[in-house]
Amino acid sequence: MGSVLLDFPAQSGGNRETKTTCPYCGVGCGVIASVDAQESLSVRGDETHPANYGKLCSKGSALADTLGDEDRLLYPQIGGKRASWEQALDQAASKFSDIIAKHGPDAVAFYVSGQLLTEDYYIANKLMKGYIGSGNIDTNSRLCMASSVVGHKKAFGADTVPGCYEDLEQADLIILTGSNLAWCHPIIYQRIAAAKAARPEMKIVVIDPRETATCDIADMHLALVPGSDVALFQGLFNYLDQQGCADNDFIAQHTENFEPAMHAAISYNLDAVSRLSGISEAELEAFYALYAKTEKTVTIYSQGVNQARDGTDRVSTIINCHLLTGRIGKLGAGPFSVTGQPNAMGGREVGGLANQLASHMDIGNAAHRDLVQRFWGSPTMAPKAGRLAVDMFDAIHDGTIKAVWIMATNPVDSLPNANHVRAALGRCELVIVSDIYGHTDTAACADILLPSTGWGEKDGTVTNSERRISRQNAFLPASGEMRHDWWQLCEFAKRMGFEEGFNFEGPAEIFREYAGLCAYENNGTRDLDLSGFMDISKEDYDAIEPIQWPVTKAAPQGRARFFEDHKYFTPSGKAQFIAPAALEAPQRRADYPFILNTGRIRDQWHTMTRTARSGRLSQHISEPFIDIHPHDAKSLGLEDADIAVLESAYGQMLARVCVTQRQREGAVFVPMHFTDRFASAGRVDALVHPVIDPFSGQPASKSTPVAVSKFKAKWYGFAVVASDIFEAVSVPKSVQYWSKARIASGVKLELAGTKLPEYWASFMGALLGEDEGLEYIDMISPVNGTARLAGFKDGKLLALLYTGNQPVAVSRNWACEQLLGSPSGAERYRLLAGRPSGDVPDKGAIICSCLNVGINDIQSAIAKGCASVNAIGDATGAGTNCGSCQPEIKAILQTKEKIDVPA
Ligand SMILES: Nc1nc2c(c(=O)[nH]1)N[C@H]1C(S)=C(S)[C@@H](COP(=O)(O)OP(=O)(O)OC[C@H]3O[C@@H](n4cnc5c(=O)[nH]c(N)nc54)[C@H](O)[C@@H]3O)O[C@H]1N2
Ligand SMILES: Nc1nc2c(c(=O)[nH]1)N[C@H]1C(S)=C(S)[C@@H](COP(=O)(O)OP(=O)(O)OC[C@H]3O[C@@H](n4cnc5c(=O)[nH]c(N)nc54)[C@H](O)[C@@H]3O)O[C@H]1N2
Ligand code: SF4
Ligand SMILES: [Mo]
């Protein structure tokens, strides 16, 4: 396993240091992993990396907490039993071959991920399209970037992201639409916040139905009616045109189809847009006028735009406004789709989507198919696009697809109509899953489960939001029998008889071939040109410095910006205005009166397989919740901290109620992260409708009609339990509601049920998985379900349990800190009070997860006169490490009251 060891004697103090890239979001921050003489690992930001210049957000800062072999998948399994790689691969290949022989190549499929490295991804795509001969390889990027890809291709003729991060710092106006950048791309957010602090005249507008942490730096927040985005941007287009803001020379020389786009927008006057969007005419006009007068404008967008039935149209209407004003391909101006996953961009490059070919070529284009097949020298070539994600799982459900290999994604939790997806896998003849953990909801459906190497153990490249290719380098050995994803695919391919195309020694060789394909017969016709890398040696590959593609022989330093030369990749070479398709708006339903919006929280990553291992990260938010407006809560009889039942036409879930003004009436927000491992009924995608954008196939994950009601709990509880093993702490089946999160010395649990357990002591014993030798103290009222128990063994506190007929008010954080202590006498009874004694301050809900600073610490600093984020930082340390919590600190300063973070 290759790794790049750097020698920084001054900083490293003799530590072994490796430069690599963060495995989470598409910002693509550079990380230095450092292993000291005791083999203890730490990470810090790479000061030289142009994405982050040394900074890391809370997730990046906690990377070291998430490593280690605990609950890693170490060996292949067949039918749940340990098997050898030989057996697993032989069986996988022979079943795939049999099914293909009987039913043709379209009876098999790969479902892969924007979290694969470019080299893994390239191999998966090559195997399916060029050797198996089917287009049936799709990726979780279908749920993420597909609408942006189509929007780019319609407008520019290629999936080209025009700009770069520097543009964000240089812009005078940044519009953030459908993006919670503060939580989802924290380092870009911090770069923008710093630029604004240096140039306060820079303006920021947030367009989001919710008031998010991102609104913290906004001059204007447009809390539009969910789904009224096309109207809002059509209105902007119309306004700009009417006000004479069109760049007529640019339109005439470099664009086509202006007229139809203009006609499509003409009815969107201020009055009409105001009615559709719920934003007052005055506010709309203020926003439009700001756009009109600001030459250097960037529009950043992500899932609030992409994940919609009209996601592609939303992208087109955003790009139209930039084309109208000629604000593209210029310093500080352009549309900017920020990518979600660390290698979302790389996956698009190598053709991970079912309708694309490698190196930004199209499967629907015969010349492209021929070119790629000649380059590969492959026996066949998929003749047409394969099934797109949602459709792929329908085809698995109805038996059209009989074998699927799922790699680095967890569709049982992340695809819409997720119970249907689970059922589909249950019916499928052969399900292969490659993951780094064996405990995911998708792994539970696997016939063959394959242990992959993960971040820190694998080598390759990723491409970030600004087209910057960076190396991920291994710095840890692979344990057990973990294998690289590319290796698994190559070995499988060889067993299917494709020895020739898959004899790679390592990622350098794969990358070289991929770069060669990008260069092959390109001559400037395709945006993605890597001819500068086509002869790269292993040594040079290992030393690749972060670089933005294209990287050509003529321009080996890469390129920051596209379209400065006004050269687009359409047949005419001109950019295209796109009139939106005027899709019918989804109907509101009387039986499901709320719109369910879903998305991310600051400190968790997707289905939480990695981030939930960090106790630090679980301090921020660790329970499924539903944000709901006070009026709606009132009408449903819901109060803060109740449990709500959410129901759609597809499924049900339970979540903690957070009543907040930040939410619009009629819409609710639920995080996407919780799985069966972390909550009894927290899988929000079980409810999400399988509605897709007709052009991109991307699911509309933010607009499911749902009903909300109160879960009629008889009792509520909170417990902390000492345990090294997360899985060892399990909740009795009779408890309808629970959520579980890792803490420093064990697990914390939120509980609620409709039936009181008979004996609280045995209930606590069940949580602990044993009660032998346990000693209890308790305060129990049999009448109203109020119980407080502490359990000890050999004098050490092993568990605390607090229950009541109302949500229990206990200092969670304080309780967590008591575990494994050895209190005596009165101290023991104080535990039952659930909060510290008067002389020890209670931190309250943790806001700064890096330095463990709670909301109460921050509020008392404010009470003592701290009037700025910096002053609070000086007094408490909060926000001074990664800075990810600064928006929340500012919100606390502004409201001076408890914000909507569940304690
Ligand atoms: N902490 C954290 N960061 C992440 C991730 C993570 O799991 N955790 N995942 C990464 C990935 S893969 C992705 S794709 C990105 C996603 O990054 P974002 O797109 O920023 O994240 P989301 O929270 O999914 O959605 C963004 C916003 O869209 C808003 N929205 C909902 N409906 C509408 C609408 O109709 N119109 C508009 N204008 N806005 C709407 C939501 O209220 C939400 O605030 O984050 C990346 N970064
Ligand atoms: N309701 C709703 N649903 C959504 C979204 C939403 O906003 N709302 N967002 C969608 C979006 S944008 C995205 S990107 C998806 C994300 O959804 P998923 O891709 O399903 O989520 P992850 O938890 O990132 O899954 C990655 C899996 O790969 C494993 N893994 C990690 N590293 C490796 C590796 O190196 N090799 C292998 N083989 N496995 C590895 C992890 O343990 C984990 O099981 O969710 C989508 N679903
Ligand atoms: S912003 Fe945070 S999660 Fe995203 S790449 Fe940087 S450190 Fe990683
Ligand atoms: Mo994503």
Say whether pLDDT at 1 is over 90. Answer: no
pLDDT for the residue 840: 63
The answer on pLDDT for 610 being more than 60 is yes
> Which tens digits make up the pLDDT trace of 473-501?
999 999 999 999 999 999 999 999 999 99
Mean pLDDT of 343-357: 93
Rounded alpha-carbon distances, angstroms, from residue 125 to 10, 106, 109, 588: 44, 14, 11, 40
pLDDT of 898 higher than 80: no
Helix axes 118-125, 485-495, angle to 10 degrees: 20
340 has pLDDT over 90: yes
Ligand 1 in reach of 227 Cβ (< 6 A): yes
The encoded tokens of residue 171 equal 């812009």
Q: Is the pLDDT of residue 583 over 90?
A: no
For 419, the enclosing helix (H) or strand (E) is helix 418-427
Band (pLDDT 50/70/90 cuts) for residue 390 is: very high
Between 21-30, 344-353, 628-637, the lowest mean confidence (pLDDT) is in: 344-353
pLDDT, one tens digit per residue, over 495-530 is: 999 999 999 999 999 999 999 999 999 998 999 999
Q: Which residue has the tokens 């954008």?
A: 693
Greater pLDDT, 122 or 857 = 122
Q: Can you tell me the mean pLDDT for 396-424?
A: 98
What token pair was written down for 400?
Answer: 């059209």
Q: Residue 840: which of 801, 831, 795 has the closest Cα?
A: 831
Mean pLDDT of the chain: 94
How many whole angstroms from 408 Cα to the centroid of ligand 2? 7
Atom of ligand 2 nearest to the CA of 306: 12
- As a whole number, mean pLDDT of residues 775-789 equals 85
C-alpha span between 229 and 507 (Å, rounded): 42
Pocket of ligand 2 contains residue 672 by CB under 6 Å: yes
3 state SS of 622? coil
Convert the pLDDT of each residue in 866-895 to its tens digit. Answer: 988 989 999 999 988 888 889 888 888 887
**Helix, strand or coil for residue 229?**
helix
**Confidence at residue 6, expressed as pLDDT on a 0 to 100 scale:** 39
Nearest atom of ligand 1 to the alpha carbon of 183? 1
Give the strand pairing for 737-743 and 746-753: antiparallel
Atom of ligand 2 nearest to the CA of 442: 44
**Number of Cα atoms under 13 Å in the Cβ half of residue 850:** 23
CA-to-CA dists, residue 748 to 624, 717, 815, angstroms = 14, 11, 9
Q: What is the DSSP letter of 106?
A: G
Q: Which two tokens stand for residue 207?
A: 């367009």
Encode pLDDT of 524-552 as tens digits.
899 999 999 999 999 999 999 999 999 99
Helices 258-265 and 229-242 pack at an angle, to 10 degrees, of: 110
β-pairing, 30-35 vs 41-45, is antiparallel
Is 452's C-beta closer than 6 angstroms to any atom of ligand 2? Answer: yes
Ligand 2 atom closest to residue 688's alpha carbon, by position in its atom list: 1
- The residue count of the chain comes to 903
User: What pLDDT is recorded for position 841?
Assistant: 66
Average pLDDT of span 662-681: 97
**How far apart (Å, rounded) are the C-alpha atoms in residues 387 and 397?**
13
In whole angstroms, give the CA distance from residue 525 to residue 569. Answer: 7
Indicate the Cα dihedral angle 869, 870, 874, 880, nearest 10°.
80
The two tokens of residue 774 are 């346990």
Task: Among the bound ligands, name the one nearest to the CA of residue 620.
Answer: 1
- Tell me what pLDDT residue 896 has: 54
In whole angstroms, give the CA distance from residue 188 to residue 184. 9
Count Cβ atoms below 10 Å from residue 555 Cβ, excluding itself: 12
User: Which residue CA neighbors atom 6 of ligand 3 most closely?
Assistant: 29
Closest CA to 464 of 178, 883, 145, 212: 145
The atom number, within ligand 1, closest to the CA of 225 reads: 35
Atom of ligand 2 nearest to the CA of 610: 42
CA of 184 from ligand 4 middle (Å) equals 10
Ligand 2 pocket mutation, candidates 119, 143, 303, 348, criterion most atoms within 8 A of CB: 143
Q: Let me know: does 483 contact 457? Beta carbons within 8 Å.
A: no
At residue 70 the predicted structure's pLDDT band, cuts being 50, 70 and 90, is confident
- Tell me which DSSP letter residue 639 carries: -
Contacts of 309 (CB under 8 A, 6+ apart): 583, 586, 691, 692, 693, 694, 700, 703
Residue nearest to atom 4 of ligand 3 (CA): 25
Q: 306 CB under 6 A from ligand 2?
A: no
Can you give the pLDDT at residue 537? 97
- pLDDT score of 7: 39
- Check pLDDT > 60 for residue 901: no
Q: Is the CB of 27 under 6 A from ligand 3?
A: yes
Lowest mean pLDDT: which of 103-107, 615-619, 797-801?
Answer: 615-619
- Give the integer Cα–Cα distance in Å for 843 and 278: 39
Contact between 389 and 143 (Cβ < 8 Å): yes
Q: How many CB atoms lie within 10 A of CB 526?
A: 21
- What are 38's two structure tokens? 């005791």
Q: Is the pLDDT of residue 897 over 70?
A: no
Spatial separation of the C-alpha atoms in residues 16 and 7, rounded to whole Å: 8
Whether residue 111 contacts residue 408, with contact meaning beta carbons closer than 8 Å, is answered with no
Q: Is 0.75 surpassed by the pTM of this model?
A: yes
How far apart are alpha carbons 691 and 804 in whole angstroms? 41
Quick check: CB of 410 below 6 Å from ligand 2? yes
**Ligand showing the shortest atom-to-Cα distance for residue 669:** 1
- Residue 769, pLDDT score: 86
**Torsion over CA: 544, 545, 550, 554 (sign):** negative
Least confident among 240-244, 403-407, 427-431, 823-827: 823-827
Residue 351 has pLDDT above 60, yes or no: yes
What is the rounded CA–CA span in Å between residue 222 and residue 256? 31
- pLDDT value, residue 588: 80
Amino acid at 64: A
Probe target for ligand 1 pocket from 184, 684, 882, with the most ligand atoms within 8 Å of CB: 184
Q: Is the CB of 552 under 6 A from ligand 2?
A: no
Report CA(683)–ligand 4 centroid distance (Å). Answer: 17
The pLDDT value given to residue 2: 36
CB of 341 sitting under 6 A from ligand 1: yes
- Cα separation, 44 vs 25, whole angstroms: 16
> For residues 903 and 684, which has the higher predicted lDDT (pLDDT)?
684
Residue nearest to atom 22 of ligand 1 (CA): 599
Residue 13: per-residue pLDDT: 61
Asked if the model's pLDDT at residue 825 lies above 90, the reply is: no
- Helix-, strand-, coil-residue percentages of the chain, each rounded to 5: 35, 20, 45
Work out the average pLDDT over 562-568. 96
Peptide bond into 550 cis (omega under 30): yes
Strands (E), 600-714: 625-628, 643-647, 652-659, 667-671, 704-710
How far is the C-alpha of 865 from the C-alpha of 868, rounded, in Å? Answer: 9
- Give mean pLDDT, residues 747-766: 93
Helix 389-397 and helix 418-427: axis angle, to 10°? 50
Q: Which ligand is nearest to the CA of 605?
A: 1
Cβ atoms of residues 116 and 347 within 8 Å: yes
Check pocket membership of 229 for ligand 1, CB cut-off 6 A. Answer: yes
Residue 636 backbone zone (phi > 0: left; psi -120 to 50: alpha; other: beta): alpha
Q: Is 836's pLDDT higher than 80?
A: no
Distance CA 876, CA 841 (A): 13
